[in-house]
Amino acid sequence: MSHEPSDWRQRNKWLWAKTDGRCAYCGTRFASYAEMTDDHVVPRSRGGSHSRTNRLPCCRSCNAVKGPRPVAYLRDALQRRLHGRPAFTAEQMAYLEAAGFTFPAETRFEFYWEKLGYSLDEGANG
């Protein structure tokens, strides 16, 4: 027995298809529609629309971290998780580097939809 309402599944089939059933941000594969949330790239509270061009499929974890913040906030959070270190402000980094601390070079966290070849604008439009 399915836990997803069929009307929701039908209405959002296009959303699932955007990334072939994966979170647009971290790439986690959804086992069912119930695991997928609908993220607004530009949050509605910040003037974003509810149109298809502003929505991406998202796992609950990424959606909870991003919340009503810009996509850059989620990228920073995933970047910190990838490299296993806390985030520092530019001022804090300058202070630590001046004090002799060194940090390994980081590679920029790439969202799953970027790996599919979308740009930030196209990621929401795809």
- Taking only the tens place, the pLDDT of each residue in 18-75 is 899 999 999 999 998 889 999 999 999 999 998 888 999 999 999 999 999 988 888 8
Domain range summary for the chain, segments of one domain joined by +? 6-106
Q: What is the pLDDT of residues 76-89, one digit of tens each?
A: 888 877 766 666 66
Q: What is the pTM of this model?
A: 0.69
Pairwise CA distance, residues 78 & 91, whole Å: 21
Report yes or no: 59 and 30 within 8 Å, Cβ to Cβ.
Answer: yes
Q: Tell which CATH architecture fits domain 6-106.
A: Orthogonal Bundle (1.10)
Report yes or no: 40 and 54 within 8 Å, Cβ to Cβ.
Answer: yes
